[in-house]
Structure formats: C-alpha cells, structure tokens
Amino acid sequence: MRRILGVALLVTVVAGCGGEQGPAGDPSTSAAAASSAASPSSVGVGAPGWPGVGGEGKCPYLGSADVAQFNGQQVGKVKLGGEGERPACFFFRPNGEEQLRVRIFTGTEAEAKALVDSVAPVATSSPVTLDGGWKGGAQPTEKGAVFAVAKGGTAVAAVSNQKRTIAPKRAVEKAIEAVK
C-alpha cells in the first residue's frame, strides 16, 4: 500500500512539474531553487518528490517561531503540501519568497534513501549522522543549503535559502521530534 501511495505521489509530482516559481514568477526566488537536486523535477525514479505547495495552514511538526530562529528570517505565511498528518511545510518570508521547506516521508527504506539522495546527493554532499541512527547528507548550494537524513523507511529533508547548513539541520532535528 505504501509503495502504491509513493508511486502515486511521484506520478502526481512529475505530472505537475512545470518548473516551480516564486511569487514574482522568478524561479530563483524560492528555497526550492536552493538546489536543483532538491527540485521535484530532478527526483529520480523511485524517489518521492516534493508535493506541490498547497493552501495556507499550520505546520504540525515545525512552528513559525522555530523557523524564524533557525533561518534568521521572519515568517509571513506557512503553506502545506501533500496529505496526511505530516504534510510538507513551506515557510515564506513576509515578501512572499519561500525561505524553508521541510518534509517528513514514510515509505520503504529504499524510497527514504532515494529521497535523501535526491535532496543531498551522496556524490556531492557531506555525510551526516544524527542521534538515533539517522544518516544522510548536507551541503550548501548555489541558492542556499540542504540537509536530509533517513532511518529505516522514514526520511526527513529540508531546503533553506540560507547558505549555511545549520538552518536546515535544525529544522530537520525539530521535525524528527515529531517522528518519535
């Protein structure tokens, strides 16, 4: 069942990929542009991509005050993507630019690892390990930084518009608390 949901999500994301753009129509204005590896259109086969940005809401596992502290920018709006109790959370600055996106994914171990590799590719990222057996990668990118880890069939990933990996790392650590 999880495999079917993962494939359905991947098909939906791939079908909806026309290039993600910021509010001004400039794809470079969003945290999604922080890494081409983190964009839904570059996710490889078997790797679940980022769900599309949906309506406004409250992120169930990461608060706006935490994001403002981690990322060093005020949060204007929070939008959710996907379905379920752990949707992807997209945090925007008051000017409408996306500053941080975070996702908790649960599926097969192979899918979780593929998601981590699509966000923080093993070939280019620095290996990271967090308490509790979470492993993955982190790297600064042209437009920001990424941090992603997996444990079993669960992956947690973050993309920030900040160049230092500490912001997405702290967001991932906070999101992991919701997994426990």
Q: For residue 179, what pLDDT is reported?
A: 85
Mean pLDDT of the chain: 80
User: What tokens were used for 107?
Assistant: 């599926």
Using alpha carbons, select from 179, 177, 171 the residue that is nearest to residue 64.
Answer: 171
Q: For residue 44, what pLDDT is reported?
A: 44
Interatomic CA distance for residues 155 and 138, integer angstroms: 13
Q: For residue 143, what pLDDT is reported?
A: 92
Interatomic CA distance for residues 46 and 61, integer angstroms: 25
- Tell whether domain 2-50+99-179 is in CATH 3.40.1000: yes
Domain ranges across the chain: 2-50+99-179
**pLDDT tens-digit map of 133-157:** 999 999 999 999 999 999 999 999 9
Interatomic CA distance for residues 168 and 123, integer angstroms: 19
Greatest alpha-carbon span in the chain: 41
**pLDDT tens-digit map of 41-61:** 334 446 788 999 999 999 999
DSSP-derived letter for residue 35 is -
Interatomic CA distance for residues 18 and 176, integer angstroms: 31
